[in-house]
Amino acid sequence: MAYKHDYDKILTRLVNTLSKLNNGEALSTTELAKEYNVSERTIRRDFNEHLINFPIYKDGKKWKMKEGFRLEKIASLEDTVVLNIIEGLVEGSSGKFSQKAKKLLAKIKNEEYNPIYTKLNLEDISDKLTEVQKLESAIKGKNIIKCSYAFEGYSKKIELKPLKIVNYEGFSYLVALDARDDTLKKYYLKNVTNIQILQDLFIVENALDELLENSISVWFERKNKPFEVKLLIDAEIEKYFRRKPISKTQKIVASHEDGSVEISISITHDMEIIPLIKYWIPHIKVIEPKRIQDEIERDLRKYLRL
């Protein structure tokens, strides 16, 4: 039987809830509401707004910590919850305050010395934070937007159904549907300006999410039926393709005595795979479709003539 405690303070309630989850307990909003003497709506808000960034999930009517996750290494659960709440508040703001606050939070949340270094060659979009926040809001709310897009020296007004902000090869893009005919398009993020969020809502097909998940580069196409590409990978580099598959559709279809392997992947446009093949030349070859191998050979002959 749960006893009522004086958990007036949101921080005390959140830290206690997180500790319970970390100890392996499965928690229901009804039980927690009784224990903390608050409404179930308040508990739902705790999970959906303040604790959502932690590795937790809802299983039926109960919340649990994801398997394999523990929070022992966190110096203070209280400090971590506070920072996550502040970070959530900052997400709702804009302008220079938001930019500076995020930088400060990033410093606070990092350890004094982090032994892990990751080299991510991403373009700087710090000047687009206001636009990004508007897009995030529209994507989450499934709101149609009006905006301006600069392209080849001129700007045009467009209405879009924003789906995702994606990053390919270090560059950021807005993937969206044209509000007029649902054509899937990709817009270079830095060229998107004057965003207005409309009240009109839209529905996203599950197939679009799958298309984005399986894409390799910004060249992916909705209108093209996915097709299979088979590649022969030399023994010298096959370990890299095992460690980090090209996409979620990658499969190893054959292994040879010399250590080379054949892999297959599903793509929607030749240019999704051609730059990657050129990167690994001469240790990779296209088995099929032949047109891709022919195009790469033509480009190589053209390069050698230079």
Q: Which two tokens stand for residue 271?
A: 């240019």
Please report, for residues 126, 205, 231, 279, 300, the alpha-carbon distance to residue 218 in angstroms, rounded to integers and kept in the order given: 21, 19, 21, 17, 23
Domain housing 110: 1-117
Q: Which of 93, 117, 141 is the last residue of a domain?
A: 117
Residues 22 and 95 in one domain: yes
Residues 145 and 237 in one domain: no
Residues 98 and 151 in one domain: no
Residue 222 domain flag:
no
Per-residue pLDDT, 131? 87
Each of the 306 residues of the chain gets a pLDDT tens digit; together they read 444 444 346 767 887 888 888 888 899 999 999 988 888 888 988 888 778 777 788 888 899 888 766 665 444 555 666 566 555 555 544 455 456 556 655 654 554 444 444 455 667 777 787 888 889 889 989 999 999 999 888 899 999 999 999 888 888 899 999 999 999 999 999 999 999 999 999 988 877 888 888 889 899 998 889 999 999 999 999 999 988 898 889 999 999 999 999 999 999 999 999 999 999 999 999 999 999 999 999 999 999 998
Residues 45 and 3 in one domain: yes
Q: Which of 71, 88, 117 is the last residue of a domain?
A: 117
Residue 220 domain flag:
no
How far apart (Å, rounded) are the C-alpha atoms in residues 225 and 266? Answer: 10
Q: Which of 88, 117, 146 is the last residue of a domain?
A: 117
CATH code (residue 188): 2.30.30.520
How far apart (Å, rounded) are the C-alpha atoms in residues 102 and 92? Answer: 12
Per-residue pLDDT, 114? 41
Q: Which amino acid is at 152?
A: E
Residues 109 and 2 in one domain: yes
Number of domains present in the structure of the chain: 3
**96 beta partners:** none
Residues 71 and 18 in one domain: yes
Residue 181 domain flag:
yes
Residues 110 and 181 in one domain: no
The model's pTM is 0.58
CATH code (residue 3): 1.10.10.10
Residues 96 and 185 in one domain: no
CATH code (residue 238): 3.30.70
Residues 89 and 135 in one domain: no
Per-residue pLDDT, 83? 60
Residues 263 and 191 in one domain: no
Per-residue pLDDT, 148? 95
Residues 160 and 242 in one domain: no
Q: In what order do the strands lie in the sheet with 284-288?
A: 251-255, 261-267, 227-233, 284-288
Residue 30 domain flag:
yes
